[in-house]
Each structure stands twice: as C-alpha cells, then as structure tokens.
Amino acid sequence: MINPNSLYDALLDALYATFGNHPGFRVTHAKGVLVSGTFVASAAAGRLSIAPHLQGQPVSVLLRFSNFSGLPATPDGDPMASPHGLAIRFALPDDQATDIVAHSFNGFPVATPEEFLSFLQGIAANAATPPNPAPLQTFLAGHSRAKAFLDNPKPAPRSYLSSTYFGVNALLFKGPDGVLRAGRYRIEPLQIEATLNESQAAQPADYLQHELAHRLGRATVTLRLMLQLAQPTDVVSDGSIPWPESNPKVELGQLRLDRLIPFEEQIATQQRLDFNPGRLPLGITPSSDPMVGAREGIYQRALIRRQQH
C-alpha cells in the first residue's frame, strides 16, 4: 500500500506535469474570483445537523468561483475551464471555519485515491511532449465513469451564478436526535439559465468574472445550499456514482452574495486562502467514501507546495 503522503505527492506531480508550475496559483482551478456574503440556515438544517453554521444565525461566507484548468489564463468559456468550481468558506465561532468544495459536474471521475492517481498519470502522459495516449486509453477502457467525466459536453455557462455545483463526496450529518444521515451538498441558483450556444460562445476571456461583477453591482444574488440525502440502495462510498434525482433534497439555507472582492485584492487574498473539503465542524463527519480523507490530504499538500513556489 502506498504511503498517503507519497500518494498525494504523486497526484500533485501528475497535475504539475499536465498544467506546469505557475507560482502562487493553484495546481487546478488556477483562475478564480472571490465574492463575500452571508449564509442563513433554514429550520430544516438545524434538524439535520448540530453544526454551528446550520443553526439559523447569519454566518459570513467567502465564495471562490473558478475554472477547472491549472492554467491561470484559461478563457472562461474554454472547454478546459469546465467543470467550473465553487468553494465556500463559512466563518464559525472562535475563529474557526468549515469549507465546501464543489464543481459543476455531478460526480467525481473515480472512486478511490489509487484510481485517481492512475487517471491523472494517464492525463499527464497524454499532455506530454511527445504525447503518449496509451496509459489514458487503457485506464478509460476499464473506467466508464472517468470516461464520462472527460467526454461530458462542456458548453460555456452564461454566468458563474447560473450553474449547479455538486459536492460529490458524501458526508455524515449528525442531528440533535443523534441520528447520522448521509448526504451530498449541492449549490443551486434560484433560476437555471441555459448555457451559451455556439453562436454566443465567442466571449471575452474574462466574461464570467465581469458578468459576476456586473450582476453584483446591481443587487444581492441568492444561491440555495441543498443537501441530497442518501437512500438505503445508494452507494455512499463511491463519489463517481451520482445518486438518483428522485432522492429527497433538503434546503439547508441561502447564500446571499453582496460584494465582489476588489480586483486589486483578488490575487493576494486568494493566495492566502486554503479551502479544504475535509475541514469539517462538529456535527458533520466523513462518510465511508475514501476520497473525503484523500482530498483533505491532497489539499493540504497542495497548499504546502503553493507556498514553497
């Protein structure tokens, strides 16, 4: 069995081999934009979990919308920008915090950290000069969900605010009744907007950032934080398998976005932030999905590398 830190380093090595080293930027989702706001939990949230940010009092939040690519100059509408990402930092009492890290595809490409390493190494080999597509082709032949992740259509969104974002790994939510319920986060717009068609897709490189600034300049924007609950037949341990849309969903509360962090402060503020999906508060714990702990370790190692470069 591979030592976890060696595994995380190998995963990061594969990502750096794919996208290159861009000092100060994240190895993936390098290009992003920060927005501040407030989260107000619903009454239902407090019945599902004793987590402090789900008890109904307003909580300050910081959101980072991003493009998938590890290249900081990737145009917002480029297929390499998809799936787009959304990370959320919730401020908790006593200077604590908890994070959600989600993206705009319903599912993770693989089920385990070891599969993730093979997947990323295949992508890195395919991106090398000269390219070697064989490792990726071999991997995808035996991993249909990873192939679906790569082959999924990637139309340009109208706005960062018009997409649904999925927290693809299940967590356990402990309610005041002591019951543990497995669920996956979703962040949904109040109104779904169609993606851009081919004739509309020729947009400026930073159009999503500017659209976001324009929309927030007019009014507060509201997103819904949802929890999709697992049913007895669902596979909780495999984030690559989407759960049925018929599963019950609970609105945990609303994210009310009111301010774009000034552009001159964006890069410095983003470099200080270390969103981590494993940063969990009292009342929320990891499930049996092995990628929950792995992503926590990978994000920690990625932060160390980013600070060293």
Q: What does the pLDDT average to over 257-274?
A: 89
Distance CA 12, CA 5 (A): 11
**pLDDT the model gives residue 251:** 98
List CB contacts of 57: < 8 A, sequence separation 6 or more: 41
| Burial class of 177 by CB neighbour count within 10 A (0 to 12, 13 to 18, 19+) | exposed
Q: Categorize the per-residue pLDDT at 215 as very low, low, confident or very high, splitting at 50, 70 and 90.
A: very high
Cα distances (Å, whole numbers) of residue 162 to 6, 86, 165: 38, 12, 10
**pLDDT the model gives residue 272:** 86
pLDDT in tens, 117-164: 999 999 999 999 999 999 999 999 999 999 999 999 999 999 999 999
Distance CA 88, CA 34 (A): 10
- CB count within 10 Å of CB 203 equals 16
Q: What would the two tokens of residue 55 be?
A: 């008890």
Look at residue 46 and tell me whether its pLDDT is greater than 60. Answer: yes
Whole domain around residue 208: which residue ranges? 4-308
Q: What does the pLDDT average to over 253-272?
A: 91
Distance CA 116, CA 130 (A): 23
Look at residue 1 and tell me whether its pLDDT is greater than 60. Answer: no
Q: What would the two tokens of residue 38 be?
A: 């407030």
Cα angle, residue 179 at apex, residues 230 and 172 outer, rounded to 5°: 45
Distance CA 195, CA 198 (A): 10
Which of 96-105, 185-194, 255-264, 298-307 has the largest mean confidence?
A: 96-105
Query: Among 28, 68, 35, which Cα is nearest to 157's?
Result: 68
Q: Categorize the per-residue pLDDT at 305 as very low, low, confident or very high, splitting at 50, 70 and 90.
A: confident
Grouping H, G, I as helix, E, B as strand and the rest as coil, residue 178 is: coil
b/e map of 290-308 (b: 16 or more CB within 10 Å)? bbbebbbbbbebbeebbee
Q: What would the two tokens of residue 240 be?
A: 């690559």
**pLDDT the model gives residue 259:** 93
Q: Categorize the per-residue pLDDT at 2 as very low, low, confident or very high, splitting at 50, 70 and 90.
A: low
> What torsion do the CA atoms of 49, 54, 55, 61 make, to the nearest 10 degrees?
160
Q: What does the pLDDT average to over 211-224?
A: 95
- For the whole model, what pTM was predicted? 0.96
**pLDDT the model gives residue 263:** 82
Grouping H, G, I as helix, E, B as strand and the rest as coil, residue 265 is: helix
Cα-Cα end-to-end distance for the chain: 29
Q: Is 14:123 a contact under the CB 8 Å cutoff? A: yes
pLDDT in tens, 160-214: 999 999 999 999 999 999 999 999 999 999 988 889 987 787 899 999 999 999 9
Half-sphere exposure at residue 32, Cβ-oriented, CA atoms within 13 angstroms:
31
Distance CA 16, CA 3 (A): 20
Which amino acid does the sequence have at 188?
A: E
Q: Where are the beta strands (DSSP E) in the chain?
A: 32-41, 59-66, 85-92, 96-103, 165-166, 171-174, 180-189, 221-229, 249-260, 284-286
Q: What does the pLDDT average to over 101-121?
A: 97
Residue of 29, 84, 103, 143 marked catalytic: 29
Q: What would the two tokens of residue 35 be?
A: 């927005």
Look at residue 309 and tell me whether its pLDDT is greater than 80. Answer: no
C-alpha 92, offset from chain centre: 20
Tell me the average pLDDT of the chain.
94
In the chain, the number of structural domains is: 1
Distance CA 88, CA 36 (A): 10
> Does the CA dihedral 106-190-273-205 come out positive or negative?
positive
**pLDDT the model gives residue 267:** 85
List CB contacts of 248: < 8 A, sequence separation 6 or more: 228, 229
Q: What is the CATH number of the domain that holds 155?
A: 2.40.180.10
Q: 103 an active-site residue?
A: no
